[in-house]
Chain A
Amino acid sequence: EDQVTQSPEALRLQEGESSSLNCSYTVSGLRGLFWYRQDPGKGPEFLFTLYSAGEEKEKERLKATLTKKESFLHITAPKPEDSATYLCAVGGSNDYKLSFGAGTTVTVRA
């Protein structure tokens, strides 16, 4: 069974204080590791897909990286608008289902 573990559960940052979120996974035949952002009261918003170890993707202040066992979401010089819950999910070779982690709630103070 695919498993996804995210850490830390919560992260409080000062504006401009860079940090990283971790996503550890076990999956049978990785078909994609996905990062989502979720704001309160809204559905998850897609950020990145990573397919193979060594791959990196960037979007504004966010950068996602992937190894064979984990993925990191780096937040560089965060702003208050980066405050959200960040979810990690993996897709395996078995079917279309994604397995989600519990998420990391990031709060950025001005």
Chain B
Amino acid sequence: SAVISQKPSRDICQRGTSLTIQCQVDSQVTMMFWYRQQPGQSLTLIATANQGSEATYESGFVIDKFPISRPNLTFSTLTVSNMSPEDSSIYLCSARSWGTEAFFGQGTRLTVV
């Protein structure tokens, strides 16, 4: 099983600023994903982080708001840009290789004030 380290674990940010969340996997994985989870709700996929190419975004999410990097097979970042209170949520990093289960980080709890 893969171990995923995600940081920061929580942050309180001013509206209009940006926050970059880091995700480090302890082994090489094929795919990495970024999810958002509102309190008491399930996971919503933001995008798939592709190594060596642009991320693939789900409907309702755009690169200008959530730029993603994946420089290698074990690391990815998600930036939440120009934040507003509506961006307050838990952001989760996930990693998976074909034919295996997905593993998750512990999440980043973001509060925008």
Contacts and interface: CB of A to CB of B under 8 A. Distances in A.
A103 interface: yes
A46 B41 CA distance: 18
A107 interface: no
A31 B106 CA distance: 25
A46 B31 contact: no
A102 B41 contact: yes
Contacts, number: 47
Interface string A24-60: 0000000110101000011111100100000000000
Contacts of A69: none
A84 interface: no
A100 B31 contact: no
Q: Chain A: interface residue count, which band?
A: 20 to 34
Contact of B33 (A45, A97, A102, A103): A97
A102 B44 CA distance: 10
Chain B CB within 10 Å, residue with most, of A41, A89, A96, A102: A96
A97 B94 CA distance: 10
Q: Chain B: interface residue count, which band?
A: 20 to 34
Nearest to A89: B102
Interface string A66-110: 000000000000000000000101000001111011110000000
A87 B42 contact: yes
Contacts of B96: 96, 98
Interface in B1-35: 1, 4, 6, 30-31, 33
13 contacts: A34-B102, A36-B104, A43-B6, A43-B104, A46-B1, A46-B103, A95-B48, A96-B33, A96-B98, A100-B43, A102-B41, A102-B42, A103-B42
Interface of A: 31-32, 34, 36, 41-46, 49, 87, 89, 95-98, 100-103
